[in-house]
Amino acid sequence: MATPSSSVSGSVAPSAAIGSETVRPSSQACHALVVTTTERCNSNCVYCSKVTRRPRDMSLQVVAELLRAVDAYLGARSGESLGLLWHGGEPLWLESRYFEAVADLQRRLCASTQHRIEHRVQTNLTCLSAAHLSALRRLGVADVGTSFDPEPGIRGPGKRVDSNRYNRQFLQGLRLVERSGLGWGLIYVVTQRSLERPREVFHFLTNLNLASRVTLNPVLSGSDRARSLAITPREYVDFLGTIYPCWHRRRHRFPSVHPLVAWERALAPGDDGASADVRDGSVQLSVHPDGTVSPCLPDRTPGARSYGRIGDRTLAELFEAHWQWQRQAERHRHASPLCHDCRWWPTCRGGLDLDAAAHTDMDMQESGWCDARRRFFTEYYEPVHERGRSGA
Ligand code: SF4
Ligand code: SF4
């Protein structure tokens, strides 16, 4: 279940102030692992970056190694919990017995820690069955993430990208989820076709999901197929900025529209007038079918790194490796003339890890995100809040 993105805020940023002692993630931070159960999918979405030519599935042996590592990590930290997001490809393209077996493994290998594992699944819903739902419940999944795009010819199976079929099956799957009482959230991928009507898209999505957990991710580049849909960081920010005043007025009704809610929280001044830092130090990492672990990045990101393999390194070591890398990126940016004197540093801290990783030399000017980010702050965020302060 691909989630095209080089989100400027959806992910976790370094939480230590430059020059201070490294602030380790608090015991309240909930780290998460995004588990690629399979690189196969029943759909053929135009912008997919997940499905590969030689797709792999995660064997139950690797799942067992993963659960042993999770148990060891949680066993040593009584106050913590850990998120596992069962992702793909399309995880439910695997049969329900796969998830039954995962639930059995968890019961055996995480007997005393399983109540602190927060399971979620990210699925396109088009092959969801009652048997899947039952297996997912046994595992402890309480929440489903999905994605949807009503535009024809973007999401769908087969060479012709049959979006009618996709939409029909998606809505059937959604009814099953709602009848089962599970919560759900939705990713919408912002493409060239979305740019002409940002507000319509916002209203459509918040009407579709009345609980309104909606994440808006950009499709930035990728394969030749996706090129005509790709948008620039600036177009993405203009799309979000157009929605922003409308969402801000209704933010209590729709408290989970991302990344707007994260940006607004990050920009809101604290009691002392400084930017509030809402980053809790939680870390999110990808686990690939062979058990290797890397930052959560679009799969074709150049220079994407691996921190090692589950089983060879403990989870604590893998989280620490990511932490150190984030810290190095933050230091590098703070030393650059671009960021050093920027008034947005307290909030932005030179951008987030996805941007840094996409540019291994960590050059923000090249990435295009710096201009886009500043544009959001000055063209969209500040006018809304200045109007609010003046009572207009
Ligand atoms: S649903 Fe679409 S975007 Fe997600 S993995 Fe399948 S083909 Fe890729
Ligand atoms: S807005 Fe640009 S210059 Fe300012 S801190 Fe962020 S990346 Fe650096």
The predicted-structure confidence for 196-228, as pLDDT tens digits, reads as follows 999 999 999 998 876 768 999 998 876 778 888
370 lines ligand 2 (CB under 6 A): yes
Strand order in the sheet with 143-147: 256-258, 213-218, 183-190, 143-147, 117-122, 82-87, 31-36, 284-287, 292-295, 308-309
* Entry pTM: 0.88
The label of the residue with tokens 């159960």 reads 37
Please state whether beta strands 117-122 and 143-147 pair in parallel, antiparallel, or not at all (unpaired).
Answer: parallel
**Atom 6, ligand 2: residue with shortest CA distance:** 350
Counting ligands in written order, the one closest to the CA of 3 is 1
Ligand 1 neighbour 48 (Cβ under 6 A):
yes
SS3 of residue 310 by DSSP: strand
Residue 222: the pLDDT is 63
Determine which residue's CA is closest to atom 2 belonging to ligand 1. Answer: 45
Lowest-confidence pick of 50-64, 167-181, 292-306, 320-334 = 292-306
Contact present, 113 and 68 (Cβ < 8 Å): no
Tokens of 353: 């890890």
286: pLDDT strictly greater than 70: yes
Q: How far apart are CA 118 and CA 304, in angstroms?
A: 27
pLDDT digits (tens, 9 = 90+) for 291-308: 999 988 655 555 557 899
- For the Cβ of 85 lying below 6 angstroms from any atom of ligand 1, the answer is no
Tell whether ligand 2 has an atom less than 6 A from the beta carbon of residue 338. Answer: yes
Lowest-confidence segment of 48-52, 180-184, 299-303 by average pLDDT:
299-303
Q: What percent of the chain has pLDDT over 90?
A: 57
Is pLDDT above 50 for 289? yes
- The mean pLDDT value of the chain amounts to 83
Tokens of 213: 């957990």
| Tens digits of residue pLDDT in 126-139 | 999 999 999 999 99
**Quick one: pLDDT at residue 171?**
94
| pLDDT at res. 19 | 33
* Spatial distance between the Cα atoms of 174 and 178, rounded to a whole number of angstroms: 6
Residue 4 has pLDDT above 60, yes or no: no
- Residue 359: partners with Cβ closer than 8 Å, 6 or more residues away: 366, 367
Interacting residues of 340 by C-beta distance below 8 A, sequence separation 6+: 334
252 CB-contact burial (10 Å; exposed 0-12 / middle 13-18 / buried 19+): exposed
Pocket test for ligand 2, best of 237, 374, 377 (most atoms within 8 A of CB): 374
Q: What is the 3-state secondary structure (H, E, C) of 221-272?
A: CCCHHHHHHCCCHHHHHHHHHHHHHHHHHCCCCCCEEECHHHHHHHHCECCC
List the one residue out of 240, 215, 219, 223 whose CA is nearest residue 231.
219
Task: Using the mean position of ligand 1's atoms as its centre, give its distance from the Cα of residue 44 in Å.
Answer: 6
Length of the chain: 392
The pLDDT value given to residue 298: 58
Token pair in block for residue 265: 């929280």
Distance 4 CA to ligand 2 centre (A): 23
- Running DSSP on this structure, what letter comes out for residue 180? H
In the block, residue with structure tokens 């999770």: 70
Q: Which ligand is nearest to the CA of 161?
A: 1
What is the rounded average pLDDT of the residues 266-290?
68
Q: Mutate which of 39, 48, 127, 149 to test ligand 1's pocket (most atoms within 8 Å of Cβ)?
A: 48
Task: Tell me the backbone φ, ψ of residue 293, rounded to 5 degrees.
Answer: -125, 135
Pocket test for ligand 1, best of 124, 125, 219 (most atoms within 8 A of CB): 124
For residue 323, the model assigns a pLDDT of 84
Shortest CA distance to 377 belongs to which of 247, 270, 240?
A: 240
For residue 148, give the 3-state DSSP assignment: coil
DSSP state of 49: -
88-119: per-residue pLDDT in tens? 999 999 999 999 999 999 999 999 999 999 99
User: Do 220 and 233 meet the contact criterion of CB atoms below 8 Å apart?
Assistant: yes
2 touches ligand 1 (CB under 6 Å)? yes
Whose Cα sits closest to atom 8 in ligand 1?
A: 48
Kindly state if the Cβ of 130 falls inside 6 Å of ligand 2: no
What is the separation, in whole angstroms, between the first and last Cα of the chain?
43
Q: How far is the CA of 125 from the centre of ligand 2 (A)?
A: 38
Q: What is the pLDDT of residue 29?
A: 61
Contacts of 19 (CB under 8 A, 6+ apart): none
327-362 pLDDT per residue, tens? 887 888 888 888 888 888 877 777 754 454 444 444
